[in-house]
Amino acid sequence: MKNILSKKILFIICGGVSAYKSLETIRLFRKNGFEIKTILTKAAKEFVTPLSVASLSQGKVYEDLFSLENETEMDHISLSRWADVVVVAPATANTLSKLSMGSSEDLAAAVILASNKQIFLVPAMNVRMWEHQSTKNNFKILKDYGYKFIGPEIGDMACGEYGEGKMSEPLNIFNEISNYLNLKKKNNKIKALVTAGPTNEYIDPVRFITNKSSGKQGYQLAKSLSKRGFDTTLISGPTNLDIEDNIKLIKVQTAKEMFEATQKNLPTDIAVFTAAVADFKIVNQKKNKIKKNEDFFLKFEKNIDILNYVSKHNSMRPKLVIGFAAETDELEKNATTKLSDKNCDWIIANDVSKKDAGFNSDHNEVTIYYKDKKIQKENLSLKKKSEIAEEIVDRIVAQIN
Ligand code: PMT
């Protein structure tokens, strides 16, 4: 076990019989130099006392959303900002249900809703409760929101039944969280650049040619990279999306501007090209708005291929270059051709002829083609773009570290 100093954990204990395991988990974190603040829900106090939690954590225990003392000292927003990571253990069926609805009815729920940090949920409940369709749905929703789960395990339960639902052991929880924080610290020194969205190629000052890219896939990738600690830059064509402050966002309109912004942000260690860059720009762009009765024709010329420029750069080629391929036919053939022609390490292909995936959808289904790996391709089945991004970033983390 590695000793990590000055790491801050906000530990939320909910009301379940496994709450005693949280005390042991807190002890482990403290022993290894972590700073802990704790929130106890009303139900948690039926299982563990604030006094035992305070003495083990050697930190403040918070209980009420509307406590004058707490709110003047550290309000629920500051509490969520203070932590490096938030751990909810045990996370009961009721907690999962409340969180999936975005409830903020008590301090624990309000802090989680307001948090900008990774949240780890450690479920613990009876096997039937865990297997219930409503819990399954909540689990899926919370995964979509980006919450990470530790466990539950299969085993004997406090209620006498056997099955899946048992809370993970303190050492497992400790190892998962410390690995996450260790990697995040390491990734801090690694630069990642993502291009996203469409580009607009202007015909006159008010008219342009563009495509259906919403930027969603690229923004989710930038979010996932930043959450894992990478020093992330997002170069985005015009979109309606927002991004967290810790991501350096550069907004552009045209492919030329996207290229120039990319050049300025080299060198980088990782480059992911999700943008749907227009292949052509208009040469005879008009300075003034074209009149209705005016005769005109459009003359095109090729835009520079940004991915190609970066992946073939003599001195500044990133360690990992990932291209995307939007295909309507012959997905594998076209993707593998792009993999080699554009000198990528990976090409991530999406079949954009499908109705509920690809351009402007919240979902995607992709196949990753690798250049130098034993496994040459991997399919990530249809799911939310946030989850696709997480799965891609899992693979980036494994490759780069
Ligand atoms: O934005 P969303 O609505 O979320 O949709 C996501 C997406 C479908 C746009 C995305 O998943 C995707 O497939 N992006 C690539 C789209 C594309 O233009 O593919 P392409 O096959 O034309 O280009 C291949 C690669 O070269 C891409 O990585 C592209 O960014 C890059 N390229 C292309 C042309 C160019 N001039 N410069 C480039 O960098």
Query: Can you give the CATH number for the domain in which 366 is found?
Result: 3.40.50.10300
Is 241 within a domain? Answer: yes
- In tens digits, what is the pLDDT along the chain, a chain of 401 residues? 444 445 899 999 999 999 999 999 999 999 999 999 999 999 999 999 999 999 999 988 998 776 656 666 667 788 888 999 999 999 999 999 999 999 988 999 999 999 988 999 999 999 999 999 999 999 999 998 889 999 999 998 877 889 999 999 999 999 999 999 999 888 989 999 999 999 999 999 999 999 999 999 999 999 999 989 999 999 999 999 999 888 999 999 999 999 999 999 999 999 999 999 999 999 999 999 999 998 889 999 999 999 999 999 999 999 999 999 999 899 999 999 999 999 999 999 998 888 888 899 999 999 999 998 777 999 999 999 999 999 999 999 999 98
Determine the atom of ligand 1 nearest the C-alpha atom of 323.
28
The residue whose CA is least distant from atom 10 of ligand 1 is 274
* Residue 206 burial (CB count, 10 A): 9
Same domain for 257 and 374, yes or no, is yes
Find tokens 């954009």 and name the residue.
352
Determine the atom of ligand 1 nearest the C-alpha atom of 215.
1
Q: Are 203 and 374 in contact (CB under 8 A)?
A: no
pTM of the model: 0.86
Determine the atom of ligand 1 nearest the C-alpha atom of 385.
4
Mutate to test the pocket of ligand 1, among 239, 311, 324, 340 (most ligand atoms within 8 A of CB): 324
Indicate which residues carry an active-site annotation.
Answer: 159
Distance between Cα 330 and ligand 1 center (Å): 16
* Residue 3 burial (CB count, 10 A): 9
Distance CA 104, CA 111 (A): 8
Is 2 within a domain? Answer: no
Q: CATH number, domain at 89?
A: 3.40.50.1950
Distance CA 390, CA 68 (A): 39
The last residue of one of the domains, among 162, 185, 208, is 185
Distance CA 52, CA 65 (A): 21
Same domain for 312 and 345, yes or no, is yes
The last residue of one of the domains, among 134, 153, 185, is 185
Is 1 within a domain? Answer: no
Same domain for 136 and 264, yes or no, is no
Find tokens 């006392």 and name the residue.
49
Number of domains in the chain: 2
Same domain for 166 and 141, yes or no, is yes
The last residue of one of the domains, among 185, 212, 237, is 185
> Which residues, judged by CB distance below 6 Å to any ligand atom, belong to the binding site of ligand 1?
195, 197, 213-218, 255, 273-277, 279, 303, 305-307, 323-326, 338, 350, 352, 358-360
Same domain for 37 and 171, yes or no, is yes
Distance between Cα 307 and ligand 1 center (Å): 9
Same domain for 206 and 355, yes or no, is yes
Determine the atom of ligand 1 nearest the C-alpha atom of 220.
4
